[in-house]
Chain A
Amino acid sequence: MATTGLTSRRRRRPSGGASSWGIVAAPLTWVIVFFVTPVIMIAIYSVGGISGLSPNDIEEWTITPWKDFTTSPVYMGGLNPLGSGLFWKSIRMSTIVSFTSLVLAYPIAYLLAMLAGKRKYTLLLIIIVPFLTSYLLRVLAWRVLLNPQGVINTFLVDTVGILNGPIPWLFNSSFSIYLVLSYVWVPFVALPIFVTLEGIDEHLLEASSDLGASRWKIFRTVTLPLSMPGVIAGFIFVFIPTIGEFITPQLVGGPGGFMFGSAIQSAFSFGLDWQFGSAMAMFLVFTVAILLAIFGRYLNVRSVAG
């Protein structure tokens, strides 16, 4: 849990013992061999520098896989964020989901950090626990609720009888994708916002009040701006995993739930067009890198550690 009142820490280098590089050797090697290397490999593979892994591989240096998907109206269709390209569809999904999660989480984080007193950590725990339980089973729970023969529809149609048939937009729709993904991410977004709000010096609020600002003005001109790092961190930490998301959209989104992540996944599992899939995967890496270059300074990863 986040802690208050960190006293000044003395970070003196301990005398003796293993060297710093000695103690990071094992974890660092693991990450370099099994994470950095494979990411570099897909980059090389996507331009034909490696081949022979799948039947359709191009065996010479080429930009064909990249050109194919960036120009294809199905996969990307150029730089048209409102177009039908799957990449942009995923970007739109990530934006909506991140924004919805923020709107739902902010008031709660505000309440807990500023007004809940001693109970705040317990109440925060109540919000966060669902996030730490099975993702897939929570998606299953929503399927049970939303599907045409599910709990909500059978309740309204058979038990209460106010409807003649299942609500069409409740399942296998954009609505169900946004709903379930926001549901999954709300607790995670609440954390960094809570941490930044908790770190705000109360004297600032008192000073603003003494100078005659109303509560709303204090919020708008002091609290909200000071909490922006947490808001941005929350946004980015939902946005990034959601761009590559294919499991949830497939399970609750029906045919419309085919996303950019699904395209990557099926290029590998069905299409046997691995270099094409690798180019798309690398494109996601670049997208993330651009986001981090813009917003990276707001990301204090420790603020999500809890």
Chain B
Amino acid sequence: MNMAASRSGRGALWVAFWLLVVFLYAPILILIIFSFNDRELVSFPWEGFTTRWYHEFLANETILKALKTSAWIAAGASAVTTALAIPASIALSRRRFFGKGLVSGFLLAPLVVPLVVLGTAMLILFNYLGFPFGPLTLIIGHVIIALPFAILTIVPRLDRIPVALEEAGRDLGANWWTTFRTITFPLLAPAVLSAYLISFTISFDEIVLASFIAGSTTTFPVYVYSQLRLPTQLPQMPAVAAVVLVVSTIVVSLAEIVRARADRALDSVERVADEPAAEVVGVEV
């Protein structure tokens, strides 16, 4: 007997699952479908298939510029985030030191502070310092938001890399840096890639901080937000949204698939690492 659910119970749960999938994806799919409708308003009736809105969007300098600005800011923010998250994760996963609880508390605290508070706080800080608002302040803020997510992506992976592998490297005479570069980092790379992509998505999509500290910089979310507040938005908006949603869905799914594959690969490394040390050295990773 299955203890978790009866046969009919399982059936009902599967129905609930697929209903939730419909709930989650239908709005996005409908938006994509209607981005091809030959009609100014995004609504019925269906007036025929057109790629007009896509052509108009590709010719709209303001949208393209906003997308480019956001891409640059996101690239910068996620590079800094990843660079800070790797050492932070190593310390949290591998080391024991005085004050570790406090340090991890500080590093993860931005997770539990509403963004509107962070926005006002940074507005006041940069105002007080007389620091000009723009891409730089956005990058600084986005790093704060993304850092906990990046750390929480890298730490579980580090936890699973057997310390024995690193010890073996050091026993064979490699120094700390060589061990990290040739053993730890290659095994960590999938999680680092995930952390980078998650940080990129967070920054690319960020609107609350941007509404406080963007200055005159128009990021893509700032542009979309300003459009959404108008009574009638540009008819190209669904086309832009469709492109961004589809691209980000593909990127995020790929990153997750890569990470899952790499995790399975680690399972075998983990098994071998439990064997006597002599065999560990022979492992190709």
Question: Are A183 and B24 CB-contacts (below 8 A) given A115-B4, A140-B31, A244-B115?
Answer: yes
B105 CB, nearest partner CB in chain A, Å:
10
Interchain CA distance A137-B30 in the complex, whole Å = 13
A253 CB, nearest partner CB in chain B, Å:
12
Residues on the B chain within 8 Å of A218, using CB: 3
Interchain CA distance A302-B249 in the complex, whole Å = 24
Question: Are A38 and B107 CB-contacts (below 8 A) given A6-B160, A23-B90?
Answer: no
Contact mask for chain B residues 195-217; partner A; CB cutoff 8 A; 1 contact, 0 none: 00010010011011001100000
In the complex, the answer to whether A244 meets B117 with C-beta atoms within 8 Å is yes
- The yes or no answer to A270 lying at the interface (CB within 8 A) is no
In the complex, the answer to whether B125 meets A187 with C-beta atoms within 8 Å is no
In the complex, the answer to whether A136 meets B221 with C-beta atoms within 8 Å is yes
Residues on the A chain within 8 Å of B21, using CB: 126-127
B78 CB, nearest partner CB in chain A, Å:
14
Interchain CA distance A187-B28 in the complex, whole Å = 15
Stretch in contact with the other chain, from B39-47, B49-57, B277-285 = B39-47
- Residue of B45, B116, B117 near A154 (CB, 8 A) is B45
Stretch in contact with the other chain, from A14-22, A63-71, A73-81 = A14-22
Interchain CA distance A126-B22 in the complex, whole Å = 11
A287 CB, nearest partner CB in chain B, Å:
9
* Interface hits, A205-259 → B, CB 8 Å: 205-206, 208-209, 215, 218, 223, 236-237, 240-241, 243-247, 250-251
In the complex, the answer to whether B114 meets A288 with C-beta atoms within 8 Å is yes
- Give the size of the chain B interface in residues (CB under 8 angstroms): 112
Chain A, interface size category, equals 35 or more
Q: Which residue of B lies closest to A283 (CB)?
A: B117
Please classify the interface of chain B as helix (H, G, I), strand (E, B), loop, or mixed, using the class held by over half of its residues.
helix
* Interface hits, A1-38 → B, CB 8 Å: 1, 3, 6-7, 9-21, 23-24, 26-28, 30-32, 34-38
Residues on the A chain within 8 Å of B259, using CB: 1
In the complex, the answer to whether A24 meets B120 with C-beta atoms within 8 Å is no
In the complex, the answer to whether A18 meets B176 with C-beta atoms within 8 Å is yes
**Residue among B96, B121, B260 facing the most chain A CB atoms (10 A cut-off):** B121
Q: Which residue of B lies closest to A244 (CB)?
A: B114
In the complex, the answer to whether A134 meets B5 with C-beta atoms within 8 Å is no
In the complex, the answer to whether B166 meets A14 with C-beta atoms within 8 Å is yes
* Interface hits, A262-306 → B, CB 8 Å: 264-265, 268-269, 274, 277-278, 281-282, 284-285, 288, 292, 301-302, 304-306
- Residue of B143, B162, B177, B249 near A129 (CB, 8 A) is B249
**Residue among A104, A240, A244, A292 facing the most chain B CB atoms (10 A cut-off):** A244
Interchain CA distance A121-B83 in the complex, whole Å = 28
- The yes or no answer to B108 lying at the interface (CB within 8 A) is yes
- Residue of A7, A30, A45 near B144 (CB, 8 A) is A30
* Interface hits, B121-144 → A, CB 8 Å: 121-125, 127-128, 140-141, 143-144
- The yes or no answer to A163 lying at the interface (CB within 8 A) is no
- The yes or no answer to B79 lying at the interface (CB within 8 A) is no
Residues on the A chain within 8 Å of B100, using CB: 20
Interchain CA distance A26-B147 in the complex, whole Å = 12
In the complex, the answer to whether B103 meets A39 with C-beta atoms within 8 Å is no
In the complex, the answer to whether A41 meets B263 with C-beta atoms within 8 Å is no
- The yes or no answer to A96 lying at the interface (CB within 8 A) is no
Question: Are A132 and B24 CB-contacts (below 8 A) given A14-B163, A125-B256?
Answer: no
10 smallest A-B Cβ distances: which pairs?
Answer: A244-B114, A17-B176, A305-B152, A38-B121, A20-B97, A38-B125, A114-B4, A244-B116, A154-B43, A205-B3
Q: Which residues of A line the B interface, CB within 8 A?
A: 1, 3, 6-7, 9-21, 23-24, 26-28, 30-32, 34-39, 41-42, 45, 50, 53, 104, 107-108, 110-112, 114-115, 121, 123, 125-127, 129-130, 132-145, 149-151, 153-155, 158-159, 183, 186-187, 202, 205-206, 208-209, 215, 218, 223, 236-237, 240-241, 243-247, 250-251, 261, 264-265, 268-269, 274, 277-278, 281-282, 284-285, 288, 292, 301-302, 304-306
Selected A-B contacts with CB under 8 Å, 19 pairs: A13-B95, A14-B163, A23-B88, A31-B110, A34-B143, A104-B23, A110-B4, A111-B13, A130-B249, A132-B198, A136-B207, A136-B225, A150-B43, A202-B3, A215-B9, A245-B116, A247-B225, A264-B116, A305-B149
